Structure 1
Amino acid sequence: MRNLPSRNSLMIRSFVLQPNARSGGVKKKIVRACASKTPLSDLISRPDRFKMESDMQRLVAVLVLCLLASAFSPTSAPAGAGQWTSFEGGRARLLASGGSGDDYARAWVEIELQEGWKTYWLQPGDSGVAPSVTLRMAGHEIRPTLVMPAPQRFREPHNVWAGYKDRTYIAMDVPTPDAAGSLRLEASVFLGICQQICIPLTLQLAAPLEAEDNKFREAETLEAMSPLPETLEAAGLTPEIETADDRLIITFQSESLEDARDAELFIAEGPSGLRLAAPDPASDNGDGTLRFEMPILKEKDDMSGKELCLLLVIGKRGYVGSVDLPSM
């Protein structure tokens, strides 16, 4: 498979949580996620490079102080990172960046799962439990727009759902209140985690909000390992949609898709009243075409012209965009 463009990343809107009325939840440019062309780098910034001191004596002194501090503070966390909270099947922590002088803070809920455990995507399927996050800062409660990396589809004997194993994260932009001094971000995080059975879980996490020039590498590492979705448009992918025999057929055709293997298509958001079964994985047959067929399980009213937000996943990369539904 040829490499697809890696620029112009895009956030997927979670419609489980509504934006905060006071601030709109996040920057206006990402509220309509499927139609946005805003690069993710404009929304979740990259850490600045660390500049080393040239004076060797000062460097040695800093190293000695760091060693002493680590010896007496074994549970200390990096700047902007909260402590790990353990639970049956894994652990989680809150990362935050952006101080009181910034209009928006950036936050991530990092989730590490033990072998054999899984958790759900924002649109997990009929039997899944979507994650949710409520934030508190300076006396304000915020319900942010949530973003996650491209999920996997798990096909079990009696269930098909979307989620993650091993490690994932939830990213979000957070409007900061007009408050002086240091800020502390608190998060109430609801997750569904599964092994042989699924367990609902609520975690209370917290992290300090560091100044913008003190961003740390943890968030950059997360996004490098599991990138957030990019736009279909930026990748040169235009979906074609049609109906046939109570099935919705979506086709992608591009030279960049040649030799694509086991691609998955997810519905990131759809109109109320429409239910679609999960399609089978699709592989290119040599001409750069991916074809997905989804049985229409339920249709209420006329869906013609209404928007369907799609997430195409190839390997670890996700590509998101919207398409208008045809007459059904």
Structure 2
Amino acid sequence: MLRRLTTLGLGLVLLAGCGTEGVRETPADPGATSPAAAEITTADAQAAFDGLGDLSGAWKDGDCATIEQLTTGVERTIDSRVCAAARDGLAAPAFRVYRDPEFLLPAREDGEDGEDGAWFAVLARKPEPAYFVLVRVDGRWRLGAGPIPLVGKAPEVEGGMDGEVTDAAADPAAAVGARLAPTRHVAFLTDPAGVSGDGVSGVRFASGDPMRRLLTELVRAPGRVRPDHLSTDVRIEGPARALALPGGGSLVFHALRVVFSQKPGSGRHSLAHPRYRAADVRAFTGGAPTTVTGSEIVVLATRVAKDNTMTTVGLRRVLAEITEGSG
């Protein structure tokens, strides 16, 4: 169900650890989108939001070790490199305090005792609507993804206000579409013909969806930096986790790595149109290489309908790494 917490001043902060009561874990079925699903109590979710200020404070202090302890999955992938680069001049992101959360707590019946692999999502309404995914790893709640700012209408989750929400892996009507969502994103974003809406991949996004704009950017990017040579690639980054939606669809939280490799054109010894600022390249690489590869992580919340039509409802895009060479 959609569980709402309105405690005054509540914000997103992860505890260094908390008890195991209220969490019952069940191993995921083969082909599930997440390692496990578990029943999580509201008290357990509230505990993961207590300790206000830990992650925000770690970013303010440039405490990369603490940030690593409080994150996992795609969020740790992003934050570990960004935090290190921030020490060398990259503009570090501020971790804002979010409040007015609505908890989306997936539950599986007949679970075994356990804790690691449990996860839940949060839709925080203020200061701006955004999703977060929290995952329990080694007995500790960690931020797995977020914030993922809302770019569309948040869908109603299976179960409504009075019942348990369902991990899509446990719902046959939602599991397949949820599992294939990241792969279908890659197929779409590597299909140049999709710019016109009639790509050969068979994957479609409505006009105005951020994925359509991203595909257009990827197709046009090489031409915009000539005479430099630019190649692009799209890869799945980390696991997907999903909740069942009414009618057989799902809400999928997942991420993509978009890679740009740029080198000078023939006969040149420097880039004519660098994609990344010199200061950012220096912060990540420690120098000024002529050939660079940038990795941008796109963290997504995607609604997958029963007919597998996909709609982007949340998106965050972050420059996560720049390396020397064509990597």
Q: TM above 0.5, one fold?
A: no
Structure number with the higher helix fraction is: 2
Q: Identify the structure with the greater strand proportion.
A: 1
Give 1 or 2 for the bigger CA radius of gyration: 1
TM-score by length of 2: 0.30
